[in-house]
Amino acid sequence: MGRRLGDPVLAGALAGAAALRLWGLGAQSLWFDEFSTQQATTGSLLDAAHHIARREGIAPPYFFVMWAWSQAFGRGAVSLRLVSVAAGVATVPIAYAVVGAVGGSRRAARLAAVLVAVNPMLIWYSQEARPYSLLAFAGGLSVLAWARVRQVPAGDGDRTRRALLWWGLAAAGALAVHYFAIFLVAAEAAALVPGRSWRAVAKAAIPVAVVGVAMAPVAWIQSRQSGNRTWMRDFTLASRVREAARTALVGPSVPDGRLWWPAAVALVVAAALLVTVAPPATRAAAAWMAGLGAAAVVVPVVLALAGVDIVLGRYLMAGTVPLTVAVALGLAAPVPRMVVGAAAAAGLVAVSLVAVVAVDRDPDLQRAGWRQVAAAEAAAPGRGLLVLNRGGLMSEPLRAYAPGIRRLDAGDRVTVDRIDVLGITADRRPCNFLVGRTCGLVFLGFPLPPDVAAHFGAPERIRVGAFTIDRYRADRPVTVTPGGLLTGVAPDDAATWRLR
């Protein structure tokens, strides 16, 4: 990539990527998973280790990095998300460099950089305090190192050993970010063996083995925590695979269900151009990239079909860079006046930008607004409760925005003059239930039981972002218990919060 660092298109893609990822970075509240990251950074490093083992299903290094980062820069939403922003921006030149390393044209390299810069999925996870943006970056870095091994002429032993060493380190780094990187890394190792000594490849993979062995005890402990994976059973594998495909094309939060169709058409055009007009070298490079990307995606799905089912779309992001490079190689294939590929590329970029801008402008497409809910509760007069009748665990981020908040047990007796019942507004647009959007929650709202309602007036409905609050007021203080408010609801599924 050395001589291309001055490419103005790459510079523009980097600037655009940074702008899109920093735009509104702190506007959205932390959602449940991000709050878990924040919790992992609270306390000592030993506390972080306990949190990782008990409450996470993700490799430990990310949380240790975030713990160290938070000591220097704080635990606010912007600070915690900046790590993901940096990884997201850094993925742009990685994709550009991969194209060059596999022999693609400068036009294809530029297109790959632009596609990564505007991809709605990568932007969404670049604004999230979780490791998925890092996973895309680390996966791309390992693919770049793999491609550079293949660039070394046969018989050049010293250069091969150095290139293999760099690949082994990059692959180990990817595995340290997320367990699912192993599928990409294994495919890379298998693809390196033909034409090389398998012993040399195995030796280069020693860092991967060291990282794997070091993380194995934690992975085993995490696997024993049923809560880390049983919630996935609420969603069929087919629905999660569909979500992964659509997310890769138009992002996790879609303003219009029809948007993914033009994006899918662009992929079909890329494949058609590769098959019909692309030079053999370009076709072969794209096949390698598609193969590596497919290994990161398809193998986990096959394992899920065999009974080992822990598949989520964001876990598959190690394959993002090679798959994007394959698409760029196809759309940049030389055809008369480049009309077909250029039009498809322009359409893909346009769809991406429409999705990104729509999310930024519409709170209903964003993560749940717990900051706004906490502010509304803090501003309300009197002594009240906030009650959720389903999915109460997902309201834990309220702790980040209301330091004095307390979750009550079912039998606690409290005296209040206000009860607020949290619900959500109806939204007919597609809803991704897996990424923290308000529409994916199940706070349905409910009338108070008759014996309690007798002490309160008719509720006032208040709109707070994508939430609704049904506010019941009493003329005089009333003593209630959460269990008496939530009859017929499993205590672990509900939540009753007292702010003061």
User: pLDDT tens digits for the chain (500 residues)?
Assistant: 444 558 999 999 999 999 999 999 999 999 999 999 999 999 999 999 999 999 999 999 999 999 999 999 999 999 999 999 999 999 999 999 999 999 999 999 999 999 999 999 999 999 999 999 999 999 999 999 999 999 998 778 889 999 999 999 999 999 999 999 999 999 999 999 998 889 999 999 999 999 999 999 999 999 888 776 677 878 999 999 999 999 999 999 989 989 999 999 999 999 999 999 999 999 999 999 999 999 999 999 999 999 888 899 999 999 999 999 999 999 998 776 568 899 999 999 999 999 999 999 998 999 999 999 999 999 999 899 999 988 888 999 999 999 889 999 988 999 999 999 999 888 888 889 899 999 888 777 788 889 999 999 999 999 998 899 999 999 999 999 998 888 777 767 789 999 86
417 close to 383: Cβ distance less than 8 angstroms: yes
Question: How many whole angstroms separate alpha carbon 336 and alpha carbon 268?
Answer: 18
Q: What is the pLDDT of residue 403?
A: 86
Among 152, 274, 137, which residue's Cα sits nearest to residue 204? 152
Strand-strand pairing, 384-388 and 414-424: parallel
65 close to 85: Cβ distance less than 8 angstroms: no
Residue 38 has which token pair? 């924040």
Q: What is the pLDDT of residue 491?
A: 67
Q: What is the pLDDT of residue 447?
A: 86
DSSP state of 437: B
Question: Looking at this protein, which amino acid is placed at residue 310?
Answer: I
Q: Residue 412: helix, strand or coil by DSSP?
A: coil
Please state the pTM of the whole predicted model: 0.95
Residue 409 has which token pair? 């047990």
30 close to 129: Cβ distance less than 8 angstroms: yes
Q: What is the pLDDT of residue 446?
A: 81
Among 313, 290, 494, which residue's Cα sits nearest to residue 409? 494
Question: How many whole angstroms separate alpha carbon 404 and alpha carbon 95?
Answer: 46
Q: What is the pLDDT of residue 333?
A: 86
34 close to 77: Cβ distance less than 8 angstroms: yes
Residue 149 has which token pair? 């091994």
What HEC string does 155-210 produce?
Answer: CCHHHHHHHHHHHHHHHHHHHHHCCCHHHHHHHHHHHHCCCCCHHHHHHHCHHHHH
What is the DSSP secondary-structure string of 24-53? Answer: TTTTSPP-HHHHHHHHHTSS-HHHHHHHHH
Question: How many whole angstroms separate alpha carbon 137 and alpha carbon 65?
Answer: 16
Among 277, 295, 385, which residue's Cα sits nearest to residue 332? 277
Q: What is the pLDDT of residue 157?
A: 81
Question: How many whole angstroms separate alpha carbon 442 and alpha carbon 392?
Answer: 9
30 close to 370: Cβ distance less than 8 angstroms: yes
Question: How many whole angstroms separate alpha carbon 96 and alpha carbon 89?
Answer: 12
Residue 150 has which token pair? 């293949």
Question: How many whole angstroms separate alpha carbon 470 and alpha carbon 456?
Answer: 12
Going from the C-alpha of 319 to that of each of 142, 153, 248, 290, the distances in angstroms are 10, 26, 10, 9
Q: What is the pLDDT of residue 264?
A: 95
Q: Is 201 exposed, middle or buried (0-12, 13-18, 19+ CB in 10 A)?
A: buried
Region of 348 (left: φ > 0; alpha: ψ -120 to 50; beta: rest) is: alpha
Q: What is the pLDDT of residue 156?
A: 81
Among 143, 101, 149, which residue's Cα sits nearest to residue 4? 101
**Alpha helices for 362-491 (secondary structure H):** 370-379, 398-401, 450-453, 482-485
Going from the C-alpha of 191 to that of each of 206, 279, 332, 385, the distances in angstroms are 17, 22, 25, 59
Residue whose tokens read 């044209």: 105
Q: What is the CA radius of gyration of the chain?
A: 25
Going from the C-alpha of 70 to that of each of 28, 74, 169, 401, the distances in angstroms are 19, 4, 26, 17
Q: Residue 308: helix, strand or coil by DSSP?
A: coil
CB proximity list for 86: less than 8 A, separation 6 or greater: none
**Alpha helices for 397-443 (secondary structure H):** 398-401
Q: What is the pLDDT of residue 336?
A: 63
Question: How many whole angstroms separate alpha carbon 304 and alpha carbon 322?
Answer: 23
Question: Looking at this protein, which amino acid is placed at residue 492?
Answer: D
